[in-house]
């Protein structure tokens, strides 16, 4: 009897960013990273093997994906087949509760869930570190979505040494993020293409690797000390340094739009008024505001002068991946 396995993985938002690969095939990053897994955004994926026919069947939100769009997922399934010795084709059904390709880490939760469901359905019984390494092969940031709370991805130097592990889970202090969803559409240049251009052409890239590694040390300490302001300051500076790299590439590019700058200015104005909040951005226009629960109302009120209430999503620290089997 064919076994169907379902995995649910949550997105993570990097507080210290990874931006650039040293091995594109193994998805090894130039520097390590630290993230916070969020409860609101997640992907749920079911996988079964023994699908009759010559090709894998990939369904995304109940729609069959054409083969050319499913190529990245099929290549990942090939990795699972290679590890498990399985030759059967698969049926994959994915439901994404994250705006895709908009800088809200949809690929992180997506490939983490696929790694969990596909590996178990193929007969593999991987531990968390091995799952993290497998998820990394689909999307670098997916290596962190295996875990909940604060997570660190060790850059490593080969497949075995590049993996994530939890720093703090559950998170027992007051921290959250407000996602300002500005443009839930595909971004102008993919993360993969953007970081490759930066590594190849930015004269400032070596300095990024140096400062990012320094940020890792400082961020670990801020999390251990439960120091909200230190965490926020490091995350905000790290994010803007990452986006400065994009402006220094040749040709230059950026993920901001006018609303991005409005959200950033709102956060800076709030902080000037004594409300401790900080912003971070990934490869997309959406701003994530790092804040504490007692300031939520004031922050949302200020943002609603510029954005609709439904664009503001409050997220708490989220859990690690879960896997269920259905025979």
Section 199-203 average pLDDT: 98
What value does the mean pLDDT take over residues 85-98?
Answer: 93
Rounded to 5 degrees, what are φ and ψ at 14?
-75, 130
Q: Which domain holds residue 268?
A: 176-315
- In this structure, what DSSP letter does residue 140 have? G
Same structural domain, 242 and 156: no
Exposure class string for 162-195: b at 16+ Cβ within 10 A, else e = bbbbbbbbebeeebbbbbbbbbbeebebebbebb
At residue 2, the pLDDT reads 77
Please state, rounded to an integer, the average pLDDT across all residues of the chain: 94
**pLDDT for residue 184 is more than 80:** no
Instruction: Judge if 200 and 293 occupy the same domain.
Output: yes
User: Based on the domain organization, do 33 and 158 belong to the same domain?
Assistant: yes
Q: Are residues 88 and 158 in the same domain?
A: yes
Q: What is the pLDDT of residues 204-239, one digit of tens each?
A: 999 999 999 999 999 999 999 999 999 999 999 999
Tell me 317's DSSP state.
B
pTM of the model: 0.95
CB 289 within 8 A of CB 180: yes
* Per-residue pLDDT at 109 exceeds 50: yes
Query: pLDDT tens across 118-169, in order?
Result: 999 999 999 999 999 999 999 999 999 999 999 999 999 999 999 999 999 9
DSSP alpha helix (H) spans, the chain: 71-84, 106-121, 128-138, 191-201, 205-225, 228-248, 258-272, 296-303
d(CA 21, CA 54): 33
Considering the domain architecture, whether residues 266 and 148 belong to the same structural domain is answered as no
- What CATH number is attached to the domain comprising 279? 3.30.70.890
Tell whether 256 and 299 lie within a shared domain.
yes
CA distances from 37 to 100, 116, 166, 201, 297 (A): 17, 16, 10, 31, 22
Weakest mean pLDDT among 49-58, 117-126, 171-180: 49-58
Q: How many domains does the chain have?
A: 2
As a whole number of angstroms, the distance between CA 61 and CA 86 comes to: 26
């Amino acid at each position: 009897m064919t076994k169907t396995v379902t995995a649910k993985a949550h997105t993570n938002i990097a507080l210290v960013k990874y931006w650039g690969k040293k091995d594109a095939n193994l998805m090894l990053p130039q520097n390590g990273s630290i993230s916070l897994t969020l409860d609101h955004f997640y992907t749920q994926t079911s996988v079964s093997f023994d699908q009759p026919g010559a090709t894998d069947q990939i369904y995304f939100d109940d729609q069959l994906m054409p083969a050319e769009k499913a190529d990245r997922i099929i290549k990942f399934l090939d990795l699972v087949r290679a590890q498990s010795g399985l030759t059967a084709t698969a049926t994959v059904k994915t439901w994404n509760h994250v705006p895709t390709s908009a800088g809200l880490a949809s690929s992180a939760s997506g490939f983490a869930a696929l790694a969990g469901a596909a590996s178990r359905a193929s007969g593999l019984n991987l531990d968390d570190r091995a799952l993290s390494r497998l998820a990394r092969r689909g999307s670098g940031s997916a290596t962190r979505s295996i875990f909940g709370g604060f997570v660190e991805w060790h850059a490593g130097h080969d497949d075995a040494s590049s993996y994530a592990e939890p720093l703090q889970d559950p998170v027992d202090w007051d921290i959250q993020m407000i996602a300002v969803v500005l443009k839930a559409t595909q971004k102008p240049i993919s993360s993969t293409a953007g970081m490759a251009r930066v590594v190849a052409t930015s004269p400032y890239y070596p300095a990024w690797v140096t400062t990012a590694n320094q940020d890792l040390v400082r961020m670990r300490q801020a999390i251990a000390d439960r120091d909200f302001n230190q965490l926020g300051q490091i995350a905000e500076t790290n994010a803007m340094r990452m986006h400065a790299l994009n402006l220094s590439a040749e040709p230059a590019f950026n993920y901001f739009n006018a609303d991005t700058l409005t959200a950033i200015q709102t956060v800076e104005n709030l902080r000037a008024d004594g409300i401790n909040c900080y912003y971070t951005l990934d490869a997309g226009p959406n701003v994530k505001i790092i804040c504490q629960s007692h300031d939520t109302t004031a922050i949302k009120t200020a943002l609603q002068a510029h954005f609709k209430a439904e664009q503001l999503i409050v997220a708490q620290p989220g859990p690690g991946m879960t896997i269920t089997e259905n025979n």
